[in-house]
Copies of this chain bind each other. A is one copy, B any other.
């Protein structure tokens, strides 16, 4: 079995125990950006992976969700943000670059522009990983959507280039009152259910270890990113890794809005059967 793993520190609370050997996952780990893992899972190159919420909705017929596991926030998320030279209300016809590494937050930004801010920027895709940030500055643009560790790094650089920083978790919460689910874990429907259940159990055990060792993980996150450890610790505190009713309410509210626009097929949620 091949299990997808995002390298961003937001996944440390779930994968940290596996990386450090505290929990053994019965699978070979494959690391990538969210967008890379999405495509590999859909292509059948992975059996189980963390994937963008929207990609579950796009491919729900081929996938089953892993119960009680997701990456969400209930307010500011820190690591998914629009960095803008203009206030959002002035982004009509402005150029906004979109990280190529994300799908869900791109769809969320487009919803916010259309339905909340009532602006129609011109969107263009761009690379926006940590090593791309300097090159990004050389591209003509009014705003840029950045996710993950590079978003934390860019925020740490201060407000000179982008005086307007909109946290997309916060914007969603203000709009809907709900948590926002960025990523879920899914398995291919054709994967062996017993093997998927074993991976699911390992992931839940790893999450339990991770949530009990956030200080250790914050230190590791600092070594990986250079972001101070108290900021990493505060970042973890704003994330949530469960998938209960309030998260499902946020997830399905996002999906119904996307389905209403024809962006994803209308559908339902199918979970892996567990005892």
Binding site for B on A (CB under 8 A): 57, 67-68, 178, 243-246, 248-249, 252-253, 255-256, 259-260, 266-271, 273
Contacts and interface: CB of A to CB of B under 8 A. Distances in A.
Contacts of A273: 270, 273
Contacts of A269: 248, 269, 271
B267 A244 contact: yes
Contacts of A256: 244-246, 248-249
Given A271-B271, A273-B273, A266 B252 contact: no
B245 A268 contact: yes
Contacts of A178: 253
Q: Which 10 A-B pairs have the closest CB atoms?
A: A246-B256, A249-B252, A245-B256, A248-B252, A245-B255, A249-B253, A244-B266, A249-B256, A245-B252, A245-B259
A271 to B, nearest CB: 6
B271 A268 contact: yes
A200 to B, nearest CB: 13
A62 to B, nearest CB: 13
Contact of A246 (B245, B246, B259, B270): B259
Given A249-B252, A253-B249, A255-B249, A67 B244 contact: no
A36 to B, nearest CB: 26
A245 B271 contact: no
A218 B67 CA distance: 41
13 contacts: A57-B245, A67-B268, A67-B270, A243-B268, A245-B256, A245-B267, A246-B256, A248-B248, A248-B255, A249-B252, A252-B252, A253-B253, A270-B273
